[in-house]
Structure 1
Amino acid sequence: MNAKVVLEREHPLNLVACRLIAVGLLCLLFLPETPYQTPLQQNLALECPSLEKGDIYTQSEFLSRLSHECRYDRLLLPTYQTGEVVYVHASAYVYFIQPAEAHDLNFKLHFLLQLRWTDARLAYALYSPERTKIIGESDLWQRIWVPHLYMSNEQSSSLMGTDSKDVLISIAPDGEVLFSRRMQAVLYCWMNLQKFPFDDQTCSMNLESWKYNASILRLMWEKDNPVRLSSELHLTEYSLLDYWTNESVVRGDIVNMRLGGAGNYSALKFTFKLGREVGYYLMDYFIPSMMIVAMSWVTFWLQADASAPRITLGTSTMLSFITLASSQAKTLPKVSYIKASEIWFLGCTGFIFSALVEFAFVNTIWRRKKVVNLKKVNSKYILKSTLTPRLARRELQKELQASPQLSKSRSCSSLQQETSSDPAGPGYNNYLTVHSFPSALNLPTITTQSYDDLITGQGGQRAGGSEGSDEPPKHHTWTTMTPQEIATWIDKRSRILFPLMFIFFNIVYWTFVYCL
């Protein structure tokens, strides 16, 4: 006790320090625990600007206070505190569509994309009641949270002009954000060209969430006019038949491809149907090809032995049509299926080639030396006797053997009359007939008769009857035609047959492309 008194008298400050230390320990034990703050957070807490009387500030000053990092984090979702789903409403204004060439399988699209969502952290109605709207460009875009979207069928895309010109953001007093962005994009369109150039193509623009899956962010089209088309929208090669929108959920299986990992992601699709205008192809392909095919028929009006002009006409029409078709084929992709334009090409090529084959056929017949024996003058027997002349001669021999008058004479040779000035006509033929008569020298007598005289018999008598008899004469239907007459007959029939077949081909083809 004496020592304590002595200590207090000699060192009074020691006792005060001990008492302060004891009080501090008691405060640490019984006061509530406060969170630890870094020096940066302490500075932000001290420097966080106030939003009171926000009407006195300019838009830029108020916006910098509203989106200050002390109260707003642009990396966090607007609903990160409540955990609710963020609904993003989208709409588009399309003012230019340019389908590319068919072999590129894509199209170019110019449009204005608008996204709308609500961010409660940006509500300023209580702080600045007189301010109606905050409007900014790229500087505001870098201050607030914006959904991460991409086009899944995109080949290339870019902003039109500068960032500050083509990005516009407005914030309403209740925290509703409207994000507008003018873009141009080249999008893939997998075309079906089986009915080219009478095809209809369905292309789409696919918008998908990139960072957040469907449990966090949901994309939705606006209920009223989700997609609007410009009144000045005009297409050259196509016509816009129809368009529609739909919402879907896509599966993201590859974790590394999306920042949100595997799962279901919200997606929007804008689809439009284009019909190809066939006026260009009619004027530049189909009508010229019809004229080329018709030109190949001129060869039927030329004489069968006019080899030079007929060959020149046939080959020139074939080469002209192949050149015309190849110019159209360069604009098409190399696909494995047959297109409607290729069917037309094969059909026209077949008609032109058939005209060349017909010339080769009639020219071969024209150069024959022997007449052709026919049972009847019609298509069946003419073609049959022309293709199989030996069989026709055998049938003629059988017919001659059946007649008793014609069996007494024997045909040795035939002489073809070349000129049409002969009174007997171009098909007139003489036959050398040998008759045996008894004489001292036993020499045969040679007389000349035509084939018609052989049929009618000696002295104007027809086989099987006589002038004074009442029996009706037997009419033999066998006759002859010269090779030149047969070639001319085939050309005349071809002048009618080929156009009729081509008209039938056109009826079938145009029915297929428009009705099926």
Structure 2
Amino acid sequence: MLTKVLLILLWMSIIFPSRIEGPHAESERGPSARHDDVYGPKPQGPQKQLPSEEIKPTTVDTRQRFGKLVAATEILDSMLNKYDHKLRPGIGEKPTVVTVQLSVNTLGPISIMDMEYSIDITFCQTWYDERLRYNGSFESFVLNGNLVSQLWIPDTFFRNSKRIHDYAITMPSQMVRIHKDGKVLYTVRMTIDAECSLHMFKFPMDSHSCPLSFSSFSYPKSEMIYKWEDFKLEINESNSWKLFQFDFTGMSNTTETISTVAGDVMVITLFFNVSRRLGFNIFQNYVPSSVTTIVSWVSFWMKKDSAPARTSLGITSVLTMTSLGSYSRKNFPRVSYITALDFYITVCFIFCFCALMEFAVLNFLIYQHTKPRASPRLRYPRARGRVLTPLRARGRAQQQQGNVVCEMEDSEDESDEEEGPSCPAQQSLHPGRTHCPGGCYKFCKYLCTARRCEGGMWQQGRLFIHVYRLDNYSRVIFPVTFFLFNVVYWLVYLNL
């Protein structure tokens, strides 16, 4: 009996708590737990895959992935475990042959003052290292810059470089590719400021060959040999080259052997040929110089008595040419020879100076022909022991002065250019005039600066130059001479 009572109490304690917790649990579970009370098909949740279906594909992929990674790691470890990067391949047996390939990314700018140029290149070197051969399913391994220090790399250096900039953002711009047969490809990108000796004799019509020379720093020719792969050079002209005043005309290469203390070293030199464009210098130097020279000739059309205007124009032209010569040398190396531009500016300066001197010579010669002769000191003459009266003395002095002072008269029937003193041989044509015996001015041994004289023996065989026609001569001589100079100048320098 007691046993039955205990079983009933146990059964009641199990049934009543489940009924009390039912509503609360249902409210906590939310509406998703009340689908049993809704009429209709019950929503089916996502079917759970069997553990075997979930694990088996992932395990296979992981094993395959980690299997290749482990295999690559084992191959690299086996190669680098006993690898000595301090020794070159084939040491003591044969020289190491390094094949070089170059890709030019950017060329320029070329600095005339520093005589150097900048070049951005991707430098590739290929050689065979038997110690890096391996067997496996991998055709090649690509290693970044962190593992470059663990391999032997050729000690190539650029002989005419001044500065070299490496790219190290975000990682060093260098790469090593190792093939199954032991072939190693090493690629690095760099910007080089290299020396370029510029010969400026023909400036600004000059052409230059800027070299890029490289060789091994420590290995002689018996241990390391450089060669081009069919002279393969990639030039990426699609990039913005910074040549500015130059045009790229091509390239060439040379291979030579230089004797050093370490032995005979093989040196390979690339030459980048460039030629200067004339546009900048034509408008900045040649046109201003020519225009200034032509402007200085305006004084030939001015009157002879306009001394201030002609003098100021001549001096201004000379000073302008001096400034142009200094400006052309401002951004130019201090070389000891004369360039083509210097020669042109110098000739223009001489033309401007001669135009100024032409007026000075003209003014001097006119003054020499027109100045009065110095008269003797007038004294009151004595007549038979007595002094003449002032009126008689003055009359007699004027009579004596008329014998030595020239009367300068302008010809009424001739133009202004024909004015001036006449020669003694011409006195018969104008008997009513008084002429000076020195009317023909002896300018030099071969010139007579007056009208053509046929009188004295010293005037024969001389070139006749009329003083008052110097401007007329200059109007023709200066332009013709300058034109002929330009023809000869451009023909010579453009064909050299």
Q: What TM-score, normalized to structure 1?
A: 0.66
**Of 254, 271, 277, which residue of structure 2 is paired with 1:246?**
254
Are residues 1:496 and 2:476 paired?
A: yes
CA contact (8 A) 2:155 2:218 kept: yes
The amino acid that maps onto 2:123 is L
- What is the rounded CA distance, in whole Å, between the counterparts of 2:429 and 2:270 in structure 1? 85
Are residues 1:514 and 2:491 paired?
A: no
Q: Could you say which residue in structure 1 is the equivalent of 2:234? A: 228
- What is the rounded CA distance, in whole Å, between the counterparts of 1:336 and 1:430 in structure 2? 51
Task: For residue 155 of structure 1, report the CA deviation from its aligned partner.
Answer: 0.7
Q: Could you say which residue in structure 2 is the equivalent of 1:103? A: 113
Q: Could you say which residue in structure 1 is the equivalent of 2:90? A: 79
Query: CA deviation digits over 1:467-500, x for unaligned, max 9?
Result: xxxxxxxxx977xxxxxx9454110110111000
Task: For residue 414 of structure 1, report the CA deviation from its aligned partner.
Answer: 3.9
Task: For residue 425 of structure 1, report the CA deviation from its aligned partner.
Answer: 7.3
Task: For residue 120 of structure 1, report the CA deviation from its aligned partner.
Answer: 1.1
Q: How many corresponding residue pairs?
A: 370
Matches within 5 A, 1:469-508: 486-508=466-488
The alignment partner of 1:194 has SS state of coil
Mark the CA change 1:307 to 1:500 in structure 2 (over 3 Å): closer, same or farther: same
- What is the rounded CA distance, in whole Å, between the counterparts of 2:324 and 2:414 in structure 1? 51
The amino acid that maps onto 2:250 is D
Q: What TM-score, normalized to structure 2?
A: 0.68
Are residues 1:115 and 2:125 paired?
A: yes
Mark the CA change 1:428 to 1:305 in structure 2 (over 3 Å): closer, same or farther: closer
The alignment partner of 2:478 has SS state of helix
The alignment partner of 1:77 has SS state of coil
CA contact (8 A) 1:154 1:188 kept: yes
Matches within 5 A, 1:16-415: 56-58=68-70, 61-62=73-74, 64-69=76-81, 71-80=82-91, 83-124=93-134, 126=135, 128=136, 130-162=137-169, 164-223=171-230, 225-233=231-239, 234=241, 235-253=243-261, 262-370=262-370, 413-415=405-407
- What is the rounded CA distance, in whole Å, between the counterparts of 2:182 and 2:409 in structure 1? 108
Mark the CA change 1:63 to 1:280 in structure 2 (over 3 Å): closer, same or farther: farther
Task: For residue 182 of structure 1, report the CA deviation from its aligned partner.
Answer: 0.6
Query: CA deviation digits over 1:384-429, x for unaligned, max 9?
Result: xxxxxxxxxxxxxxxxxxxxxxxxxx976543346x9x67876789
The alignment partner of 2:125 has SS state of strand
The amino acid that maps onto 1:324 is L
CA contact (8 A) 1:101 1:331 kept: no
Query: CA deviation digits over 1:179-222, x for unaligned, max 9?
Result: 11111001011121111111111111011101211111111111
Task: For residue 77 of structure 1, report the CA deviation from its aligned partner.
Answer: 1.2
- What is the rounded CA distance, in whole Å, between the counterparts of 1:293 and 1:500 in structure 2? 13
CA contact (8 A) 2:420 2:468 kept: no
Task: For residue 245 of structure 1, report the CA deviation from its aligned partner.
Answer: 2.1
Mark the CA change 1:493 to 1:58 in structure 2 (over 3 Å): closer, same or farther: farther
Mark the CA change 1:89 to 1:423 in structure 2 (over 3 Å): closer, same or farther: closer
Task: For residue 451 of structure 1, report the CA deviation from its aligned partner.
Answer: 6.5
Are residues 1:416 and 2:423 paired?
A: no
Task: For residue 509 of structure 1, report the CA deviation from its aligned partner.
Answer: 1.1
List gaps (5 residues or longer) in structure 1: 1-53, 254-261, 373-409, 432-449, 457-475, 479-484
The alignment partner of 1:285 has SS state of helix
The alignment partner of 1:79 has SS state of coil
Query: CA deviation digits over 1:126-153, x for unaligned, max 9?
Result: 2x2x112211211121121101010111
Task: For residue 331 of structure 1, report the CA deviation from its aligned partner.
Answer: 2.1
Task: For residue 62 of structure 1, report the CA deviation from its aligned partner.
Answer: 3.9
- What is the rounded CA distance, in whole Å, between the counterparts of 1:506 and 1:123 in structure 2? 70
- What is the rounded CA distance, in whole Å, between the counterparts of 1:218 and 1:230 in structure 2? 27
Tell me how large the CA RMSD over aligned residues is: 3.2
- What is the rounded CA distance, in whole Å, between the counterparts of 2:414 and 2:226 in structure 1? 96
Q: Could you say which residue in structure 2 is the equivalent of 1:8? A: none
The amino acid that maps onto 1:511 is L
- What is the rounded CA distance, in whole Å, between the counterparts of 2:364 and 2:71 in structure 1? 96
Mark the CA change 1:66 to 1:305 in structure 2 (over 3 Å): closer, same or farther: farther
Query: CA deviation digits over 1:208-256, x for unaligned, max 9?
Result: 1012111111111112x52111132543111112202232222113xxx
CA contact (8 A) 2:419 2:468 kept: no
The amino acid that maps onto 1:346 is T
CA contact (8 A) 1:67 1:143 kept: no
Task: For residue 58 of structure 1, report the CA deviation from its aligned partner.
Answer: 4.8
- What is the rounded CA distance, in whole Å, between the counterparts of 2:414 and 2:68 in structure 1? 123
CA contact (8 A) 2:118 2:194 kept: yes
Matched residues, percent identical? 23
CA contact (8 A) 2:142 2:175 kept: yes
The alignment partner of 2:113 has SS state of helix
The alignment partner of 2:80 has SS state of coil
Task: For residue 266 of structure 1, report the CA deviation from its aligned partner.
Answer: 1.9
Task: For residue 455 of structure 1, report the CA deviation from its aligned partner.
Answer: 8.5
**Of 410, 431, 444, which residue of structure 2 is paired with 1:454?**
431
Mark the CA change 1:311 to 1:79 in structure 2 (over 3 Å): closer, same or farther: same
Task: For residue 338 of structure 1, report the CA deviation from its aligned partner.
Answer: 2.3
List gaps (5 residues or longer) in structure 2: 1-65, 373-401, 434-452, 456-464
The amino acid that maps onto 2:293 is V
- What is the rounded CA distance, in whole Å, between the counterparts of 1:158 and 1:429 in structure 2? 78
- What is the rounded CA distance, in whole Å, between the counterparts of 1:208 and 1:318 in structure 2? 54
Mark the CA change 1:424 to 1:144 in structure 2 (over 3 Å): closer, same or farther: closer
- What is the rounded CA distance, in whole Å, between the counterparts of 2:364 and 2:420 in structure 1? 21
Task: For residue 364 of structure 1, report the CA deviation from its aligned partner.
Answer: 1.5
- What is the rounded CA distance, in whole Å, between the counterparts of 2:227 and 2:329 in structure 1? 42
The amino acid that maps onto 2:248 is L
CA contact (8 A) 2:369 2:420 kept: no
- What is the rounded CA distance, in whole Å, between the counterparts of 2:454 and 2:257 in structure 1? 84
Query: CA deviation digits over 1:100-141, x for unaligned, max 9?
Result: 3322111111111000011111111x2x2x112211211121
- What is the rounded CA distance, in whole Å, between the counterparts of 2:432 and 2:152 in structure 1? 110
CA contact (8 A) 1:204 1:271 kept: yes
Query: CA deviation digits over 1:348-372, x for unaligned, max 9?
Result: 1111111111010111223345499
